[in-house]
Amino acid sequence: MTQVIAPTPDADDAWFWKGVAEDRLLLQRCAECRLLRHPPSPMCSGCNALAWETLPASGRATVYSWVVSRHPTRPDADPRIVVLLDLEEGVRFVSNLVDCPLEDVRFGLPVELVFVDYDGVRLPQFRPARS
Amino acid sequence: MPASLVDQAAIVGIGQTEFSKESGRSELQLAAEASLAAIRDAGLTPADIDGLITFTLDTSDELLLMRALGLPEIRFWSRTPHGGAGSTTTILHAASAVASGAAKHVLVWRAFNERSGHRFGQPNAAAPPLGWNWYLPFGLDTPAKIYSLTFQRYMDAYGLTNEDFGRYTVVARKHAATNPNAWFYERPITLADHQASRWIVEPILRLLDCCQESDGGVALVISTAERARDLPQPLVRLRHVVDSHLMGGHVMFNYYLEDHSRFEECHSAAARLYGESGLTASDMDAAMLYENFSPVVFMQLEGFGFCGPGEARDFVRDGHIELGGSLPVNTHGGLLGEAYIHGMNNILEGVRQIRGQAVNQVAGARHVLVGGGRGAMILAGD
Ligand SMILES: [Zn+2]
C-alpha cells in the first residue's frame, strides 16, 4: 500500500490543511494586489501587504514534470508518481498522479483534482482529466 | 586593482583527514585534525587563527574546537546555510572577514560522519523541517527524488538520457582512480558499469549518478594575499568570489522559477563572477563543480558558460572535461569519486591545482573555477 508521511501544519500553512480536510485546494492571494503565491508566505512579495485571502483552486492543471518515487528502504510500499503541476491559476504545485498507468504520464498532461485518504492522511491528488 | 575588497584574499593553507565510510572517531575530532593540518600547511600556528567559519549543518561547536586546537581568541565567526550550496559561500565569508580587517587568519572547516552517522541520502522521517509540508507527504523524501523533478525537464529540453550522465561518472571515477585520497582510488568504471548500476529514480538517476556518503573532514585557512606572500606555500589568490540566490528559487525544491532547462542561479552567479572580475569562461584552465548528482555538472557547464545551452552532453562526450581536455573537471574525482565532504574537498583540489601540487595536475593551471552552483570562485596564481 501507499505509505504517506502526514503533514505537520504550522502557523503559516494550517489554513491550507484545514481546507484539504474540507476537500478544498486553497491558494493564498494578496488582499491588496491580488498576487497569488505558493508556497504561502506571511507577506506579499509584490506589495509587502500582510493581508491575504484564500482562493479555491479550480482543480485543473497540467503536468510540468514528474518522477516515480520508490521507497528505498521499504520495498513493500507502492511506488507513487510525484508530479510538479502548473495549476490553471498560474502557480506550481507538487502533488501525486493517481489512476494513471506509468506509460501514460507525459509533460503537459491535463489533470484534475481529487482528494484521497491514505490511512487517515487526506491529500489533494490529481488524475488524468476526464472532462 | 581588485574588482572588490574580497579579491584581496588568498587561501594559504589546506588540510584534511582520510576519507572513509567509517572514521571511527567523533566529528569534533575530524574537525580538529583537518584544521590542524590546514594551519600547519599554511606555516601558521593555532595562535594565529582569529576567525572560524563552517556550515550551519556542522555539529562541531566553535568553542569546543577552539579548546581542541588551542585558539586563544576568536574575533570573527559565522556559518553558511543550505548545506553544500553554501560551500563556496564559506570562502566569501572568510574573504570578507580578512579584507575588512575583522580577522587576520580565518579557519574554514567542514567535518562529518555522513556515512557512519547521519546519512543525508536516506529518506526523511516524520517531523520534517519547516516548509517540507509541500513535499514530504507527496513522497519527495530523498534528495535524489527532489532534484530529479528538475533534472527530468533538463533531459527533455535537450534530449539527454541517463547514459549521457554516465559519461561524467566515468570521468570522475577515472580521475579518482589515480588519486590516493579518493575512496575510489584504483577503481575506474566503464559506461557499461554505470548502466548496470541500479535505478534510484528511473529514468533519471542510477546509483552511480549519486555522490558518495563519506566520513571525513577538510579545512582551509584564508588570509590576505599580502600576508600570504610571507607564508611558505605558493600563492593562491582568490581572484573573485560570488554568491547568487534568487527570489522564488530554492536549494533543493527549485520548482518555482520559470525554466527548468537551465540552472538559473548558476547563470546569475556566472554573470557576476565574470562581469566583476573581467575574466571569462575561456580563461579557466580547470573547473571543480559541485555534484551531489551527475546532472548538476552538465547544468553548471552551461551555467558557467563553458558551453552553450544544451551543449554539455556533447562537451562531456567529446572529452573536454578529462585530463588533457580543454577544461578538466573535478580532477580529484569530485564528490562521486573522491568523497562527499559537502563540496569543500572540491575547493581543496582547486587550491592544489593552482599550487601545482595536484596528483592529476593540469600543467600550467593559472585560473581554476570552483563552482557550488549558486556561488563560485576563481582561484589564481601570482
Ligand atoms: Zn500584494
From chain A, the residues in CB contact with B147 under 8 A are none
Tell me: do A33 and A62 sit in the same domain: no
Asked if the model's pLDDT at residue A75 lies above 80, the reply is no
Mean pLDDT of B144-155: 96
Which of B127, B128, B149 lies closest to A84 in CB terms?
B149
Q: pLDDT at position B123, please? A: 77
Q: Are residues A77 and A131 in the same domain?
A: yes
A92, A32: one domain:
no
Q: Do residues A52 and A66 both lie within one domain?
A: no
- Amino acid B109 reads W
Asked whether residue A4 is domain-assigned, the answer is no
Residue A1 has pLDDT above 80, yes or no: no
Q: What part of A 43-62 touches B (C-beta under 8 Å)? A: 45
Parse chain B into domains and list their residue ranges: 3-118+212-380
In CATH terms, the superfamily for domain B3-118+212-380 is Thiolase/Chalcone synthase (3.40.47.10)
Any domain includes A83:
yes
Q: Among residues A21, A36, A56, which one ends one of the domains?
A: A56
**Count of helix runs (H) and strand runs (E) in chain B:** 12, 11
pLDDT at B1 over 70: no
Do B130 and A45 make contact, defined as CB atoms within 8 angstroms?
A: no
Any domain includes A92: yes
Confidence of residue B72 (pLDDT cuts 50, 70, 90): very high
Please state, in angstroms and rounded to a whole number, the distance separating the CA atoms of residues B203 and A82.
Answer: 14
The model's confidence at residue B119, banded by pLDDT at 50, 70 and 90, is confident
Interface of A with B in 71-90 (CB under 8 A): 71-73, 80, 82, 84
Look-up of cell digits 571515477: B173
pLDDT band for B124, please (50, 70, 90 cuts): low
Q: Do A51 and A63 fall into the same domain? A: no
Nearest CA among B257, B266, B325, B336 for reference residue B299: B266
Q: Could you give the percent of chain A with pLDDT greater than 70? A: 97
For residue B360, the model assigns a pLDDT of: 98
For residue B99, what pLDDT is reported?
A: 96
pLDDT exceeds cutoff 90 at A111: yes
Counting residues of chain B whose pLDDT is more than 70, the rounded percentage is 98
- Among the three residues A38, A56, A74, which one is the final residue of a domain in this structure? A56
Residue B53 C-alpha cell reads as 567559519
Q: Do A46 and A73 share a domain, yes or no?
A: no
Please indicate whether, in this complex, the C-beta atoms of B133 and A10 are within 8 angstroms of each other.
yes
The set of cell numbers assigned to B25 is 572517531
What ipTM describes this predicted complex? 0.96
Is A121 in contact with B137 (CB distance < 8 Å)?
A: yes
Same domain, A124 and A101: yes
* Contact with chain A for residue B200, Cβ under 8 A: yes
Query: Which residue among A39, A56, A73 closes a domain?
Result: A56
Evaluate whether residue A3 is within a structural domain: no
DSSP string, B199-260: EEETTTEEGGGBPP--EEEEEEEEEEHHHHTTSSSPP-EEEEEEE---TT--SS---SSS-T
| Contact partners, residue B295, CB within 8 Å, separation at least 6 | B147, B151, B154, B155, B165, B204, B205, B209
Strand order in the sheet with B106-113: B76-80, B51-55, B106-113, B215-224, B9-16, B237-243, B375-380, B367-371, B286-289
The total number of residues written for chain B in this structure: 382
- Bridge-based pairing state of the strands B51-55 and B76-80: parallel
Tell me if chain A has a CB within 8 Å of the CB of B308: no
Contact residues for B271 (Cβ-Cβ < 8 A; gap 6+): none
- Do A63 and A46 share a structural domain? no
pLDDT for res A72: 64
On the question of pLDDT at B104 being above 80, the answer is yes
A65 interface with B at CB cutoff 8 Å: yes
Read off the pLDDT band of B112 (50, 70, 90): very high
Residue A116 belongs to some domain of the structure: yes
Q: What is the predicted pLDDT for the residue at B122? A: 81
- Confidence label for B2 from pLDDT (cuts 50, 70 and 90): low
Task: Let me know if residue A111 belongs to a domain.
Answer: yes
Domain count, chain A: 2
pLDDT reading at B146 higher than 60: yes
What stretches of B85-177 show up as alpha helix (H) in DSSP? 87-100, 143-158, 162-177
The pLDDT-based confidence of A30 (bands split at 50, 70, 90) is: very high
State if pTM tops 0.90.
yes
- Would you say residue B323 has pLDDT above 70? yes
Question: Which distant-in-sequence residues (6+ apart) come within 8 Å of B27 by Cβ?
Answer: B58, B59, B60, B111, B112, B113, B117, B217
| B118: confidence class by pLDDT, cuts 50, 70, 90 | confident
- Secondary structure tally for chain A: helices H, strands E: 1, 8
Q: Does A76 share its domain with A120?
A: yes
Residues of B taking part in catalysis: 290, 340
CA A47/CA A29 separation, integer angstroms:
12
**Host domain of residue A116:** 58-131
Same domain, A63 and A111: yes
pLDDT score for B127? 59
Residue A81 resides in a domain:
yes
How many angstroms is it from A28 CA to the middle of ligand 1?
11
Strand order in the sheet with A52-56: A36-37, A26-30, A52-56
Look at residue A2 and tell me if it is in a domain.
no
- Decide if B261 contacts B153 (C-beta within 8 A): yes
